[in-house]
Amino acid sequence: MKAIRTIGFTGTIASGKTSRCKRLVEVAQQRQQHVSTATGAVEYSASPPSDLDCDREVRPQAIPSSRVRVHYINADLVGHYIYEPGKPCYYDLLQHFGTAVLSAPAPVEPAGHTASSSAPGLSGAGRGSGDAAPSGKAEPRIDRRVLGEIVFSEERKLQELNSICWPYITAAIKAEYEKVCASLRPTYPPFTEPARSSPSSARPPTAAAPPSPSPSTASDAAAVTAPTVGLVIIEAALLCEMTEVLELTTDLWMTHCSPATAIDRVMMRNHISREAAERRVASQLDVEQKLRKLRHLPYKGDIEVFDTTQVSLAEGLKETEAAFDRFWRNKIAVHL
């Protein structure tokens, strides 16, 4: 592994962050596939010997691999996961906001059945092994719409929600990120010293029985089991406020639009009143506040900013593709 680049993708409310980040992930995965196909990269794994040469040492076998590996982490999905029934955050939210945030009761589970929830790449300890209540009934989920109405009605309540959820979200993202980094590191099989033979029994190698690889050759073969470059994309609306997650990134991409445009888009998207939309827009930092926060840290990575106020979605997706082309040339291709 020569490098791990991590793009943090964030944006102000209703600025098109989700659509553009989705396109970024798509083009990154397409580029990964293209590199794998074009280079014919291989990795090595031990395969069992055949019946005809079972007395020979196992040789590494080439199987398809990729020199670039892309991994995507969505903080919003992580947030949904950490307050599912059975998770510690679920009970913290109930204790703070009360049962009014719960959806309609879930149907009764069959006797002896324990429901469980999981998310790819995430692991979280709940109050028990699943989301079943002690009575055997599945616990109702938190209604995000109701919770949103509560926290967006008053800034203090939104801050309280963030103070409860952010530590869990941060821990889950960091745990997944570490798993990704661990999977990108090369693994070396234990070295077994070849059996020594007496001079009288030594025979020159033949085509049917090639010499065993030297320790350095075996290590080189194992080393290519890891890709050359890892690219992690973390999407989070409040990334600038989540310092520990922000520190994982090497680059930051940010979308934004004018407050007036954001209000109109939120009204249309969420089917809410102008007053409610104004409260939601005002509840988040604007682009200048986010950039000031980054300068204050200071943020050491490169920052790419996209103003989507007067940009159509199609134009915005093309901007994302062009930005990734530059990113690829300057920060990925140089390692291949």
pTM of the model: 0.73
The pLDDT of residue 187 is 60
| pLDDT tens digits, 52-110 | 344 434 343 333 346 889 999 999 999 989 989 999 999 999 999 999 999 876 444 44
From the CB of residue 113, how many other CB atoms can be counted at a distance below 10 Å? 12
| pLDDT tens digits, 234-259 | 999 999 999 999 999 999 999 999 99
Instruction: Select the more confidently predicted residue: 121 or 327.
Output: 327
Residues in the chain: 336
Phi and psi of 48, rounded to 5°?
A: -65, 145
Among 233, 265, 264, CA closest to 249: 233
| Mean pLDDT of the 202-219 span | 46
Cα angle 154, 159, 163; round to 5: 150
In the chain, what percentage of residues exceed pLDDT 70?
68
| pLDDT tens digits, 120-173 | 444 333 343 344 455 557 889 999 999 988 998 888 999 999 999 999 999 999
The pLDDT of residue 51 is 42
Q: Is 326 exposed, middle or buried (0-12, 13-18, 19+ CB in 10 A)?
A: exposed
What's the chain's average pLDDT? Answer: 79
Q: Which 8-state DSSP code applies to residue 70?
A: E
All residues at 6 or more sequence positions from 282 whose CB lies less than 8 Å from its CB, including other chains = none
Q: Report the first-to-last Cα separation within the chain, whole angstroms.
A: 10
